[in-house]
């Protein structure tokens, strides 16, 4: 049974019309169908014997990754043949289009291959480089976040909201792993970690959803790719949060790999200053 959220709209169309505009309902519904299709593939493989290859960056790759991305691409190409597609596992298609889908079939493949259910399918829609739709689906635990520009973020169909937390000493900080930071970024992360109430690791993409739900105050990460962070922009912003790179710049295709998300704007500003060494 699909957990996609529906909303008012024409039910047909070709996508966003103005830069940063809310995508039409046809794109929102398609995003739900993409997540459903990917989830069916992924769950057939989860906790079964599988071959795990290594990509050039040494990150793991399975047949489930490629099959799930292929399933999503087929649906996009049928519904919107003019749209671009950028995915983690398959070569990009028309990436210079005004409207581009960004796909990560399994975010958290290390969790996936070791039987840990905290992995997700990530889907974003870019309108001239601006993420205007983000969907995060955790099929093993049946949890889904949907962020759409101009609409409240939903968790399993119900609106969610970040919480207030202005002081770093009170902030719960999440990162996938301290090992994700490069040599130049790690000292900056350590400054933030030492000032936060507590750092927690291992939630994978789910950390951003927990922030949107008001359980987490900060998510700070490095070495991220477009398909890792683009879906998080509408999810975090639609819940009232702030998400940028470590310099406070908007996240888009030209990102430097750093991401800082906060539920409170004052907390975000304090964290940005600390990361910069101020």
Q: For every one of its 278 residues, what pLDDT tens digit does the chain have, with 9 covering 90 and above?
A: 334 333 333 333 444 444 556 788 999 999 999 999 999 999 999 999 888 877 776 677 788 999 999 999 999 999 999 999 999 888 999 999 999 999 999 999 889 999 999 999 999 999 999 999 999 999 999 999 999 999 999 999 999 999 999 999 999 999 999 999 989 899 999 999 999 999 999 999 999 999 999 999 999 999 999 999 999 999 999 999 999 999 999 999 999 999 999 999 999 999 999 999 97
| pLDDT value for 161 | 98
| pLDDT value for 86 | 97
Domains of the chain from N-terminus onward? 25-159 (3.30.540.10), 168-275 (3.40.190.80)
| pLDDT value for 61 | 74
226 φ, ψ (degrees, to nearest 5): -55, -45
Task: Give the number of other Cβ atoms within 10 Å of residue 180's Cβ.
Answer: 17
Q: How far apart are CA 172 and CA 193, in angstroms?
A: 9
Residue for token digits 């790999």? Answer: 257
Which residues make beta-bridge pairs with 93? 85
- Are 85 and 76 a contacting pair, CB within 8 Å? yes
DSSP label of 178:
G
Q: Which of 138, 32, 142 is nearest to 76 (CA)?
A: 32
Q: How far apart are CA 274 and CA 190, in angstroms?
A: 10
């Amino acid at each position: 049974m699909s957990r996609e959220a529906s909303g008012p709209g024409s039910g047909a169309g070709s996508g966003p019309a103005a830069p940063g505009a809310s995508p039409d309902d046809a794109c929102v519904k398609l995003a739900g169908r993409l997540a459903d299709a990917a989830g069916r593939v992924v769950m057939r493989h989860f906790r079964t014997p599988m071959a795990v290859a290594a990509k050039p960056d040494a990150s793991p790759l399975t047949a489930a990754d490629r099959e799930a991305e292929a399933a999503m691409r087929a649906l996009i190409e049928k519904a919107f043949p003019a749209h671009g597609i950028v995915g983690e596992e398959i070569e990009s298609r028309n990436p210079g289009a005004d409207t581009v889908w960004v796909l990560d079939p399994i975010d958290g493949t290390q969790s996936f291959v070791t039987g840990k259910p905290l992995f997700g399918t990530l889907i974003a829609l870019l309108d001239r480089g601006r993420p205007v739709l983000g969907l995060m689906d955790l099929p093993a635990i049946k949890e889904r976040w949907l962020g759409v520009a101009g609409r409240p973020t939903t968790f399993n169909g119900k609106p969610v909201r970040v919480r207030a937390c202005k002081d770093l000493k009170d902030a719960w900080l999440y990162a996938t792993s301290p090992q994700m930071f490069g040599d130049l970024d790690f000292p900056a992360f350590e400054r933030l970690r030492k000032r936060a109430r507590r750092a927690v690791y291992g939630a994978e993409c789910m950390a951003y959803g927990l922030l949107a739900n008001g359980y987490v105050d900060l998510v700070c990460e490095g070495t991220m790719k477009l398909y890792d962070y683009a879906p998080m922009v509408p999810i975090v912003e639609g819940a009232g949060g702030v998400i940028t790179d470590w310099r406070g710049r908007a996240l888009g295709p030209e990102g430097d790999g750093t991401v800082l998300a906060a539920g409170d704007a004052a907390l975000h500003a304090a964290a940005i200053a600390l990361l910069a060494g101020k």
